[in-house]
Every structure is written in structure tokens, then in C-alpha cells.
């Protein structure tokens, strides 16, 4: 947590001061990446323009950016909320997958229901399944003190097998060449905000969830306890906060957010369960959470920036034949430079 | 005493970040003297001596030993120059014997057989010569703090130092042990060595030191010989002009006024047969029984580590109670959670403020509401009221003199003394019927100590009860209506104010029980 994460609005100056290292980090990482791009023999300004402006030049790029933004934002929150309490949720991927499984299961089993009933059920199933998947490591931590980093990571691997099983054995679509389920009921599909190119209303759900999380952490006593627990669990315990409960709660909350992103992938984008729908959102989500330094207000902006880079990356490959990994390098460099700015400031 | 200085430090300057800890400080030490280095917390006494001992490097200034300029870069070099230092926290290997600890890091005669007979003989000699009684064969972990300190002094003597620095050596000693330490120091200087004695306690410097240097806020104030010094002169030197010495609680000879001496009848806290056990089932508190009444300050005296911390923590619900009754305001509260206890009107100043009471990454305002964040006006039960929180925080910052740029400042940027003021503000601002205060003045300068004392008395006058755990016997004697002394998890005896006797309490602190 940094200073303006909580009770923000009281300290605009520190907000401005906090932005400087971000800007410098982005500039520095682009400069560093430019060296590589030039060394590989590509046109550097054109590459920069492609990375940064693809999202804003075509309707398709714009919609693609928002579609990427939704899971990135939710994954980043799934990582950041437990981080507020000082716990590391590295299981957002598994929670997304299991959330997606829950959403797909409800969408397929109750396929006949009309939209007002089925859609909420699908979304809720995603949230509950994601929360449940995080509740297992959370309970192991609560009950036995088992390190949550290990257990959340390991739960990811279980989920990979689970989605394979569900998408081939239970509701597998024999016509598909890849583990995929049959589609969910039409009533379970998220309505479109823009028809062409299709932008589903999952973005509203994601932003609403982000707003709820922000209000909870910054404006409620429970959120205060989360922050206090993250700042000093021992002192929090001495002053009456049940810190083990806060650990439990924060991890389950993170799982629910990841589960929501799984439900949105199913109900909004794919309309079915597809193996691999988790993409690399987990790692990007962690990077976003770390670049934002756990600041919930900064997370959406960083997530949008990363979504722009990601969309730029695919365009880079399509139009200039520069490998997408170049953009991963830029993202990693931004993170490194932001972290470096901490070290520099401390000196 | 000769006038030839054995050591001279001149124009020493040292800063940490933006804080200037020492500014142009000088010190002269002659041979065969006990030199008192007096000052409040943060005056720079320990920093100056850490420079001499090679732990810090000064930014300016020079050190001359026996007339020769030296640069001391490490404690090892300091020892070769004949300078030894005993810190407040001893660095000892608990599972080693006294002799093993003393010879650690020196050249051994039987390096391959590790036969320490000759070394042990020398430790015995030194121990006898300087009146530092200790059995060279006992294990460190079995020894009380007072003896472990003797080991630390012997360690320096064994290395043949001729300048011995003692940093607040009396903090954890019973009065008898203090007397015995002072006798040993006298023998040490009579043998031709010199001693620098760091302390913030006036009476100690006046009783043992030959000369006294006073530091304040990193500057030299004065150096006096004992016959020139008086309590009043030293107090003025330590505190500056800001404190009215005549009205001071800490320095007035009169003590408390009549109003402050009255005690209520109604018990607020009743503890009967309290037992607390450690993780391994070992008893930490054994059969403790006492009461704290309205308008009463009950002191808990004792050498650190005799169960005071466990007592405080079990009363505020941080540590489970194994057996016994605890009644607060008539209600049985044993086994209740901290949250409930805080809500019922108990407030707590933990001993270890950084670990047990402080949120470094949170801001000052958030720190000020910890534990009370669910209560009005900070919260209406559902949402926090940041406006009220910041309003209250600003009021507390000015009332308690917390030095911070704003209530939104990250608390980790505060200095140690200011962090302690945050703890105090949080606890004293609650209208709690019972306060459990554990070493509340630790790390505070004299003016702030004075402030804490007045706040404690203010609570008392309002009819509230306080359990005051402290290792500083002087402050307990000053403020308490009764003092209970703890030794190895038990209350050895409780004395009424009219029967306060420093030496009696000292005997109880070292486990000697007398029958009343």
C-alpha cells in the first residue's frame, strides 16, 4: 500500500508525486525497447506508433482493448485485494477457470431459462465457484497456517485438468477440434453494448466490481481492518482485529473477482467453455497489481495501459512482423523501472 | 585523577538523513575518572559513544587517544585501542558458559583442545578483583539480566580495555544491583581505567560520577565536576528553559498533591489466581491476584522478562488465559476477545510499540484509530467517516505534540518519539475506565515523560483506573498508589504508597521474599 491508497483525496500532492515515477518508467522502458527494435532492423517510430495507437485508430482495436481490459482489471484486483491484507494470491488463473466452469455449467444445465433468470445465475455461479476455489487455500491458511503462495499456485494446476475434463468428457462439443463445451443457453449471454464489432456488457460488471472493492477497502471499517492487517498483522491483532479471518476473507474475495472474470469470458466472449480461455491474464494481472503498488485507484488505469500494449502487440506482429514478445519485454521493463524508482527514492 | 586527558573527542558531527544527531560535540576524558554522559532521549549520548566505539563514522571531528589522533573504523579497532563498550542489549550466546562468552573472539591458549581452564582462572580473578560476582561455569541463559551485565563488563575487562563505556547500565537493575555496580565501577577507576557512564538519570550521575557532561539535542551543554553540579543545574542543562522545574512532577521533591493521592474504593479490575502458559505449556504467569480500584494507579515493578508483558497481554485478550478469574467492572472478562474488551472501556499501550501498536505503511490518522475504528465518531457501523477521522487526528496531533507534516503522512516517516506519541494519543484519548500502560515513557524526552505523567494523573483525578507496568522504578515510586512486584511470573508482594521502599522492592525484584 502506498500513501494515497486509503483516505485518498486528502493528499493530491502525493498523488502527483506518485505519478512521476510511472511516467519516467514508461518512457525509460520504451527507450530501452527501442534499442532492441532498432537492433533487430525495424522502424522504431512506426513500431511505437503501432503499439500505442492501434487501440485508438480502428473501432476493432478499440473494442479489442476493452475486451482485454476486463479480465486484466479483474485479475489485477484478484491479486491486489489479498495483497492489501498482506497475502499473495497467485491462483487467479485457476479461480478464473473454475469460475468459468461454474458459469458454463449453469449456462448449459439451465439453458432453457430466460435471460433475466439465467444471466444472473451464470454470473453468480462464476463468482461463487471462483470464491470457492480460493477458499480452499484460504482455509488451509486459516486452519493450518499453510503458505498461500504455494497452495494458490498448485490449485491452478488442478484447474487445468478440471477444465480439460469438463470440456471433453462432460459437456464436450465433439465437433470442435479443441477441448470445448457446447454453447450455454442464449439467456446466459451478456447483452452487447456495441453490436459491431461486438462489445459485451461485461465491462460494466468489471467496473462496478472495481468500484465496490474500492469503496469496501477505503470507506468501511472492514476495509480498514484489511489495510491494517496488511500493514502490521501483529499490531492489528493486539488491537482487536481477527487477522486470520481477514486473510481468509481477502483471499476468498480475490477468488470471487477472478471467478467473475471467468464468468464474463464465458457469458460475454466465448459463450462456451474453451480450454485456454485464461490466456496469460494471471501474470499480467500480477504485473498490473505490482505496477500500481497495490493502489486500488491506480489499478484500472494501469490495466487499461497494459490492455493497450497487448492489443498493440498483436498488431505489431500482424503488420510489422515484430514478435509479440517485444511487448512483453516492454511490460516487464515498465514494472522493473517502477520498482527501481522505489529504490532510487529511498536513497 | 590527573588532568592529562586520556581521550579527547573534538567537533564531532553526525547526521542520519535530515536529522542532525550530533553537532560539534566535544568530550574530554581524563584517566581514573567516571565520566557521566547525561541527557534525555535523543540527546545524542549513545550516538557519540557509538562513534568512539567504531560503530558509526563521524562526518566531522576528530578523536585523540593519549594525545594521538586516531581513526576508529570498527569495534575491533576500538578494542585494540583499549576501548570497550557495554550496550543496552547484550550480544551473548545463550547456550555458552560465562567463560566461553567472555573469551569468544580472543586468542585462546589451547586453541585446538579448547581447554579453557586458564581462561576461566583469569575470569575468576577479574571477577573477584572488581567485585563483579559471577560463576564462570554457569550458562548465560540461566542468568538474570543483572549478572549478564557483569559478564558483559568482564568481557571488556578481559580484553584489557582502559576506557569502558556503559550505555544506560542501570535500566534493568534492582537498586541493590545498582549499588553493587557502582562499587565495581569505583574499583575499576581506582585500578587506573576510565569509565564513561551514559544515563538519563540525574541521581545516578550525582552519586557515582566524578565529572558530568550534559548533552541536549545533539549539542554540548556543559561539563561540570561533581562538586559544581547540583540537580537543578543538571535538569536545566538537560531540558533547557522549556520546562518549569519547580512545577515539574519529575523533579519536584514534594511529590503529588493531596488530591492526587486519594484512591477510590470500587474495584475496576479484579484478578484472581491468573495463570498464563507459553506455547510449550511452561508457566509464564503463576497464580497472580490483585485489584485495581477507581482513582488508582497500580504499578507493576520488576526486571524485564518476569511476566509483565504476558500479564498485560492476557488482560487485554491478546494472550489466552489458562486459569483464573478476571473481572472488569464486575463482569467476568477472562477469555473475551480484544475487540470486546476495547469496546467495554479498556485501553492498552503496548511495550513494543513498533511491533504491537504501529502500522508503518498506513498514515498517521489511520494509526490513531486502530482498535477504535468501529466506534463513533470514526464509523457509523457501516462506513468510515474520514472527515471525522482526520478532524480528530488533527486535534490529537496538536494536543499530543506529534511532529508530522500532516495527518495523511505515512506513519513510517515519523521518528521513534513521535510514534510513541501516536500510541499515547490513541490510548489517552479514549475515555477508558481501565488503562494498561506498559513502559509508556520509553523513548521519550523529559518533557514528553512529564506530559505522560500529567496525563496519567489526569485520568486518576477523573476516577479512572490504571495498571502501570514499568521497568523504571523511579517513575513507579513517583506516581503509583500501590506497587506490585513481579518475579518469574509471580507477584511477590504489593506495597502501599506509605510503605514504599526502594530497597524492599529491589529485594522483591530479585526474588527475595520477605514476610509481611
Name the grid cell of A53. Answer: 495507437
Contact B321/B328 with Cβ under 8 angstroms? no
Give the percent of chain B with pLDDT over 90.
55
Mean pLDDT of B73-101: 90
Between B447 and A268, name the one with better pLDDT. Answer: A268
Decide if pLDDT at B262 tops 90: no
- Note whether B318 contacts A230, CB cutoff 8 Å: no
- Note whether A224 contacts B359, CB cutoff 8 Å: no
Write the CA distances from B371 to A83, B194, B395, integer angstroms.
21, 50, 18
pLDDT for residue B440: 92
pLDDT for residue B255: 61
- Note whether A239 contacts B371, CB cutoff 8 Å: yes
Name the grid cell of B450. Answer: 512529564
Decide if pLDDT at A86 tops 90: yes
Angle, CA of A4, A256 and A211, to the nearest 5°: 35
Domains contained in chain B, number: 3
pLDDT for residue B44: 86
Are B316 and B304 members of one domain? Answer: yes
The per-residue pLDDT of chain A, averaged, comes to 90
Q: Which residues of B touch A3 (CB under 8 A)?
A: 363, 408-410
Question: Count of CB atoms within 10 A of residue A62's CB?
Answer: 17
- Note whether B370 contacts A235, CB cutoff 8 Å: yes
Question: Count of CB atoms within 10 A of residue B372's CB?
Answer: 22
Tens-place pLDDT, residues B135-144: 999 999 888 8
pLDDT for residue B412: 87
Q: Which residues of A touch B18 (CB under 8 A)?
A: none
Between A9 and A61, name the one with better pLDDT. Answer: A61
pLDDT for residue B514: 55
Are B338 and B370 members of one domain? Answer: no
> What is the rounded distance in angstroms from the CA atom of residue A32 to the CA atom of residue A180?
41
φ/ψ bin of B318: left (φ > 0), alpha (ψ from -120 to 50), beta (otherwise): alpha
Mean pLDDT of A316-333: 84
pLDDT for residue B3: 61
- Phi, psi for A196 (deg, rounded to 5): -145, 115
Q: May I ask the CATH architecture of the domain A3-346?
A: Orthogonal Bundle (1.10)
The answer to whether A220 faces chain B, any CB pair under 8 Å, is: yes
pTM for the predicted model, two decimal places: 0.81
Query: Is B413 part of any domain?
Result: yes
Find the radius of gyration of the CA atoms of chain A.
Answer: 21
The answer to whether A6 faces chain B, any CB pair under 8 Å, is: yes
pLDDT for residue A8: 41
> What is the rounded distance in angstroms from the CA atom of residue A26 to the CA atom of residue A331?
9
Name the grid cell of A325. Answer: 514478445
pLDDT for residue A127: 98
- Note whether A1 contacts B361, CB cutoff 8 Å: yes
Mean pLDDT of B104-128: 85
Name the grid cell of B321. Answer: 488465559
Confidence of residue A11 (pLDDT cuts 50, 70, 90): low
Which positions in chain B have a beta carbon within 8 angstroms of at least one beta carbon in chain A?
A: 313, 316-318, 337-342, 348, 350, 355-363, 365-366, 369-371, 373-374, 379, 381-384, 386, 389-390, 406-410
Query: Is B389 part of any domain?
Result: yes
Are B379 and B498 members of one domain? Answer: no
Tens-place pLDDT, residues A184-215: 999 999 999 988 888 999 999 999 999 999 99
Of the candidate ranges A26-40, A287-301, B174-188, B257-271, the one whose mean pLDDT is the lowest: B257-271
Mean pLDDT of A42-59: 89
Tens-place pLDDT, residues B185-242: 999 999 999 999 998 888 888 889 999 999 988 888 889 998 888 887 888 888 776 6
| Most confident residue range from A250-264, B46-60, B224-238, B419-433 | A250-264
pLDDT for residue A2: 38
Query: Is B267 part of any domain?
Result: yes
Decide if pLDDT at A17 tops 80: no
Are B398 and B340 members of one domain? Answer: no
pLDDT for residue B1: 44
Dump strand ranges (E) for chain A.
192-194, 199-200
Q: In the A/B pair of chains, how many CB contacts fall below 8 A?
A: 100
**Distance in Å from the first CA to the final CA of chain B:** 47
Are B377 and B414 members of one domain? Answer: yes
Confidence of residue A297 (pLDDT cuts 50, 70, 90): very high
Mean pLDDT of A214-229: 95
> What is the domain extent for residue B505?
263-345+433-441+454-516
> What is the rounded distance in angstroms from the CA atom of residue A92 to the CA atom of residue A77?
9
The answer to whether A63 faces chain B, any CB pair under 8 Å, is: no
Segments in A85-147 forming alpha helices (H): 92-109, 115-144
Query: Is B358 part of any domain?
Result: yes
Name the grid cell of B255. Answer: 511529590
Mean pLDDT of B17-25: 84
Are B188 and B127 members of one domain? Answer: yes
Of the candidate ranges A145-154, A251-260, B196-205, B291-300, the one whose mean pLDDT is the lowest: B196-205
The residue among B482, B490, B496 whose CA lies nearest residue B513 is B490
Are B462 and B505 members of one domain? Answer: yes
Minimum Cα–Cα distance from B312: chain A residue: A238
Are B238 and B281 members of one domain? Answer: no
Q: Which of B197, B213, B242 is the last residue of a domain?
A: B242
Question: Closest to B338 (Cβ–Cβ): which among A218, A221, A238?
Answer: A238
Find the radius of gyration of the CA atoms of chain B.
Answer: 24
Of the candidate ranges A96-100, A177-181, A335-339, B52-56, the one whose mean pLDDT is the lowest: A335-339
Are B150 and B275 members of one domain? Answer: no
Per domain, the residue ranges of chain A are 3-346
For an interface test with B, the pick among A85, A231, A242, A294 (most B C-beta atoms closer than 10 Å) comes out as: A231
Collapse the DSSP code of B217 into the 3-class scheme (helix H, G, I; strand E, B; otherwise coil) and give the result. Answer: coil
Query: Is B340 part of any domain?
Result: yes
Are B331 and B362 members of one domain? Answer: no
> What is the rounded distance in angstroms from the CA atom of residue B481 to the CA atom of residue B497?
5
DSSP state, A161? H
Non-local (6+) Cβ contacts of A323 within 8 A are: A317
Are B91 and B209 members of one domain? Answer: yes
Between B225 and A22, name the one with better pLDDT. Answer: B225
Name the grid cell of B197. Answer: 557512564
Question: Count of CB atoms within 10 A of residue B96's CB?
Answer: 15
Confidence of residue B286 (pLDDT cuts 50, 70, 90): very high
Decide if pLDDT at A77 tops 70: yes
Minimum Cα–Cα distance from B355: chain A residue: A235
| Most confident residue range from B74-78, B199-203, B260-264 | B74-78
Are B459 and B424 members of one domain? Answer: no
pLDDT for residue A334: 82
Between B164 and B511, name the one with better pLDDT. Answer: B164
Collapse the DSSP code of B229 into the 3-class scheme (helix H, G, I; strand E, B; otherwise coil) and give the result. Answer: coil
Decide if pLDDT at A3 tops 50: no
Question: Count of CB atoms within 10 A of residue B251's CB?
Answer: 19
Query: Is B516 part of any domain?
Result: yes
> What is the rounded distance in angstroms from the CA atom of residue A303 to the CA atom of residue A305?
5
Decide if pLDDT at A18 tops 80: no
- Note whether A232 contacts B390, CB cutoff 8 Å: no
3-state SS, B296-355, equals: CEEEEECCCCCCHHHHHHHHCCCCCCCEEEEEECCEECCCCCHHHHHHHCEEEECCCHHH
Query: Is B446 part of any domain?
Result: no
Strand order in the sheet with B68-70: B19-30, B5-16, B60-65, B68-70
Is A160 exposed, middle or buried, given 0-12, 13-18 or 19+ CB atoms closer than 10 A? middle
The residue among A285, A307, A347, A330 whose CA lies nearest residue A25 is A330
Question: Closest to B337 (Cβ–Cβ): which among A6, A7, A240?
Answer: A240
Query: Is B302 part of any domain?
Result: yes
- Phi, psi for B343 (deg, rounded to 5): -65, -30
pLDDT for residue B242: 63
Non-local (6+) Cβ contacts of A175 within 8 A are: none
Amino acid at each position: 500500500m502506498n500513501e494515497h491508497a486509503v483516505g485518498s483525496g486528502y493528499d493530491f500532492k502525493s498523488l502527483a508525486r506518485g505519478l512521476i515515477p510511472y511516467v519516467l518508467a514508461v518512457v525509460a522502458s520504451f527507450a530501452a525497447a527501442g534499442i532492441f527494435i532498432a537492433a533487430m532492423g525495424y522502424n522504431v517510430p512506426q513500431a511505437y506508433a503501432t503499439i500505442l495507437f492501434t487501440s485508438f485508430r480502428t473501432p476493432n482495436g478499440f473494442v479489442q482493448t476493452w475486451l482485454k481490459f476486463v479480465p486484466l482489471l479483474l485479475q489485477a484486483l484478484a491479486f491486489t485485494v489479498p495483497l492489501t491484507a498482506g497475502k499473495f494470491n497467485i491462483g487467479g488463473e485457476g479461480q478464473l477457470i473454475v469460475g468459468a466452469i461454474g458459469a458454463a455449467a449453469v449456462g448449459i444445465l439451465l439453458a432453457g431459462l430466460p435471460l433475466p433468470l439465467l444471466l444472473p445465475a451464470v454470473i453468480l455461479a462464476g463468482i461463487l465457484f471462483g470464491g470457492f476455489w480460493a477458499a480452499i487455500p484460504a482455509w488451509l491458511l486459516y486452519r493450518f497456517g499453510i503458505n498461500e503462495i504455494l497452495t494458490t499456485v498448485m490449485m491452478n494446476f488442478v484447474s487445468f485438468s478440471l477444465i480439460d475434463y469438463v470440456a471433453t468428457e462432460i459437456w464436450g462439443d465433439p465437433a470442435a477440434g479443441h477441448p470445448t463445451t457446447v454453447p450455454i443457453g442464449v439467456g446466459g449471454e451478456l447483452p452487447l453494448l456495441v453490436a459491431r464489432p461486438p462489445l459485451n456488457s461485461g465491462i460494466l460488471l468489471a467496473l462496478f466490481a472495481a468500484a465496490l472493492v474500492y469503496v469496501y477497502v477505503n470507506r468501511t471499517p472492514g476495509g480498514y481492518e484489511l489495510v491494517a492487517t496488511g500493514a502490521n498483522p501483529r499490531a492489528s491483532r493486539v488491537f482487536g482485529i481477527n487477522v486470520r479471518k481477514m486473510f481468509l476473507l481477502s483471499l476468498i474475495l480475490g477468488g470471487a473477482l477472478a471467478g467473475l472474470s471467468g464468468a464474463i469470458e464465458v457469458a460475454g466472449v466465448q459463450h462456451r467453455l474453451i480450454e485456454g480461455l485464461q490466456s496469460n491474464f494471471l501474470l499480467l494481472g500480477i504485473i498490473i497489481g505490482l505496477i500500481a503498488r497495490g493502489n486500488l485507484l491506480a489499478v484500472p488505469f494501469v490495466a487499461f495501459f497494459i490492455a493497450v500494449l497487448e492489443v498493440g502487440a498483436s498488431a505489431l506482429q500482424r503488420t510489422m512482423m515484430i514478435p509479440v514478445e517485444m511487448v512483453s519485454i516492454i511490460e516487464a521493463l515498465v514494472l522493473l523501472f517502477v520498482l527501481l524508482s522505489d529504490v532510487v527514492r529511498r536513497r | 585523577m590527573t588532568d592529562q586527558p586520556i581521550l579527547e573527542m573534538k567537533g564531532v558531527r553526525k547526521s542520519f538523513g535530515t536529522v542532525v544527531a550530533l553537532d560539534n560535540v566535544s568530550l574530554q576524558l581524563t584517566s581514573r575518572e567516571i565520566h557521566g554522559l547525561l541527557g534525555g532521549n535523543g540527546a545524542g549520548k549513545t550516538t557519540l559513544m557509538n562513534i568512539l566505539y567504531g560503530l558509526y563514522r563521524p562526518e566531522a571531528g576528530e578523536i585523540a587517544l593519549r594525545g594521538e589522533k586516531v581513526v576508529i573504523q570498527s569495534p575491533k579497532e576500538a578494542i585494540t585501542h583499549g576501548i570497550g563498550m557495554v550496550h543496552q542489549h547484550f550480544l551473548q550466546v545463550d547456550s555458552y558458559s560465562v567463560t566461553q562468552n567472555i573469551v569468544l573472539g580472543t586468542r585462546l591458549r589451547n586453541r585446538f583442545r579448547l581447554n579453557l581452564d586458564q581462561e576461566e582462572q583469569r575470569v575468576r580473578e577479574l571477577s573477584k578483583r572488581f567485585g563483579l560476582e559471577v560463576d564462570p561455569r554457569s550458562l548465560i541463559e540461566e542468568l538474570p539480566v543483572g549478572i549478564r551485565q557483569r559478564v558483559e563488563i568482564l568481557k571488556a575487562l578481559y580484553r584489557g580495555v582502559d576506557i569502558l563505556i556503559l550505555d544506560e547500565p542501570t535500566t534493568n537493575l534492582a537498586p541493590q544491583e545498582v549499588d553493587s555496580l557502582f562499587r565495581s565501577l569505583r574499583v575499576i577507576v581506582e585500578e587506573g581505567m576510565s569509565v564513561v557512564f551514559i544515563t538519563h538519570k540525574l541521581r545516578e550521575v550525582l552519586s557515582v560520577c566524578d565529572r558530568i557532561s550534559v548533552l541536549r539535542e545533539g549539542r554540548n551543554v556543559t561539563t561540570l565536576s561533581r562538586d559544581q553540579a547540583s540537580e537543578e543545574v543538571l535538569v536545566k542543562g538537560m531540558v533547557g528553559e522549556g520546562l518549569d522545574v519547580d512545577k515539574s512532577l519529575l523533579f519536584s521533591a514534594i511529590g503529588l498533591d493531596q488530591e492526587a493521592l486519594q484512591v477510590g474504593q470500587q474495584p475496576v479490575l479484579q484478578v484472581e489466581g491468573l495463570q498464563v502458559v507459553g506455547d510449550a505449556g511452561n508457566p509464564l504467569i503463576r497464580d497472580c491476584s490483585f485489584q485495581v480500584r477507581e482513582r488508582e494507579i497500580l504499578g507493576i515493578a520488576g526486571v524485564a522478562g518476569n511476566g509483565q508483558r504476558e500479564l498485560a497481554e492476557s488482560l487485554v485478550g491478546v494472550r489466552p488465559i489458562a486459569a483464573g478469574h478476571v473481572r472488569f467492572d464486575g463482569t467476568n472478562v477472562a477469555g473475551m476477545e480484544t475487540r470486546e474488551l476495547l469496546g467495554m472501556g479498556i485501553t492498552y499501550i503496548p511495550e513494543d510499540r513498533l511491533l504491537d501498536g504501529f502500522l508503518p505503511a498506513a498514515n498517521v490518522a489511520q494509526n490513531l484509530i486502530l482498535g477504535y475504528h468501529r466506534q463513533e465518531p470514526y464509523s457509523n457501523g457501516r462506513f468510515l467517516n474520514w472527515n471525522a477521522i482526520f478532524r480528530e487526528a488533527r486535534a490529537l496531533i496538536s494536543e499530543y505534540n506529534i511532529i508530522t507534516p500532516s495527518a495523511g503522512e505515512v506513519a513510517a516517516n515519523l521518528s521513534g518519539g513521535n510514534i510513541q506519541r501516536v500510541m499515547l494519543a490513541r490510548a489517552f484519548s479514549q475515555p477508558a475506565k481501565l488503562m494498561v500502560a506498559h513502559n509508556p515513557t520509553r523513548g521519550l524526552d523529559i518533557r514528553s515523560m512529564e506530559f505522560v505523567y500529567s496525563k496519567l494523573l489526569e485520568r486518576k483525578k477523573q476516577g479512572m483506573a490504571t495498571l502501570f507496568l514499568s521497568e523504571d522504578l523511579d517513575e513507579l515510586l513517583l506516581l503509583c498508589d500501590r506497587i506490585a512486584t513481579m518475579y518469574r511470573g509471580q507477584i511477590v508482594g504489593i506495597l502501599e504508597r506509605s510503605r514504599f521502599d526502594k530497597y524492599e522492592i529491589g529485594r522483591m525484584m530479585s526474588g527475595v521474599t520477605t514476610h509481611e
